[in-house]
Amino acid sequence: MKRTGQGADGQGLRTGQRGEASGMRDALSVGRESGEARGGACANSVALCRGDINPDVCYICLNNSIVRLQQLCPTQKGARGYYEYCLLRYSNENILGNTPIDFYVYLANPLNATNIDLFNHALWPLLSKLIDAAARDGDQQKFASGNTTVPDFQRIYGLVQCTPDLMEQECRDCLDDLANHIIRWFNGRIGGRIFVPICSIRYETRRFLMGVLWPTHHHHHQGHLLIVNV
């Protein structure tokens, strides 16, 4: 997808981002698109929808996030937005592939499990299986979800996802890092999620996933990734 204009200043970036809404709708049906900019500067965009949602929800989330980022970051050369169903990020620097993690975004349920040891003994095997399943998936499918039951009959739902352009080990390393932060930040909490630009992890005791789940099974879904040079 080719765009004209300079993407290195805020105005050029805003113009390019406004033009991506319709392009995302078309490109996401095939998952990925890239193009060269004219001139010496460019802006890179990455859009990723949660792997368990349908395309219509994906498009709505991305279109809304484009508008929201323009309102919150009208002149910035780079921004990222994490939403319930999608991630949108743009920058005048390279953000593709296994980019360094500069900070984490996380949310935690304020409630603790009644038996933290039992809860953790059920949670960690679930997350480990999901991380392995997501990392081993090929292009466009680095997503896994599933659930398990705590011995007290409470159910835990989990979700992990990487951007599909990551290699298997890169995806695994990113998700393992987030899992280790769950231990440090959320130990005993009945729900939490962590976002970074290239992967995310989430677990809850309430059902938050869209799609059919069966106990202790993981499911693969095709992620929606768009990479655009403006």
Q: HEC profile for 65-120?
A: HHHHHHHHCCCCCCEEEECCCEEEEEECCCCCCCCCCCCCEEEECCCECCCHHHHH
Say what the pLDDT of residue 74 is. 86
For the chain, list the domains and their CATH numbers: 10-91 (3.30.430.20), 105-221 (3.30.430.20)
Strand extents, DSSP E, the chain: 44-49, 79-82, 86-91, 105-108, 143-149, 155-162, 192-196, 199-204, 218-219, 224-229
Q: pTM, whole model, 2 decimals?
A: 0.75
Residue 70, token pair as written in the block? 């323009």
The Cα–Cα gap between 201 and 168 comes to 16
Q: How far is CA 4 from CA 15, 36, 92, in A?
A: 10, 10, 15
Residue 56, token pair as written in the block? 């219509």
Say what the pLDDT of residue 223 is. 45
Say what the pLDDT of residue 154 is. 86
The Cα–Cα gap between 184 and 174 comes to 16
Q: How far is CA 214 from CA 8, 16, 148, 150, 155, in A?
A: 48, 42, 9, 15, 11
Say what the pLDDT of residue 211 is. 60
Say what the pLDDT of residue 41 is. 61
The Cα–Cα gap between 58 and 91 comes to 21
Say what the pLDDT of residue 97 is. 74
HSE, side-chain direction, 13 A CA sphere, residue 105: 12
Say what the pLDDT of residue 36 is. 46
Say what the pLDDT of residue 73 is. 86
Q: What is the pLDDT along the chain (230 residues), one digit of tens a residue?
A: 222 222 333 333 333 343 343 444 333 322 333 344 445 567 788 899 999 999 999 999 999 998 888 888 888 888 889 999 999 988 888 777 777 788 899 999 999 999 999 999 999 999 999 999 999 987 667 999 999 998 877 899 999 999 998 999 999 999 999 999 998 999 999 999 999 999 999 999 999 988 644 333 344 444 444 444 34
Residue 2, token pair as written in the block? 């080719």
Residue pointed to by tokens 């113009």? 15
The Cα–Cα gap between 230 and 95 comes to 13
Category of 143 on φ-ψ map: left (φ > 0), alpha (ψ -120 to 50) or beta = beta
User: Residue 173, Cα to own-chain centre: how many angstroms?
Assistant: 15
| CA triple 182-84-179, angle to 5 deg | 15
Q: How far is CA 187 from CA 43, 177, 190, 199, in A?
A: 39, 15, 9, 20
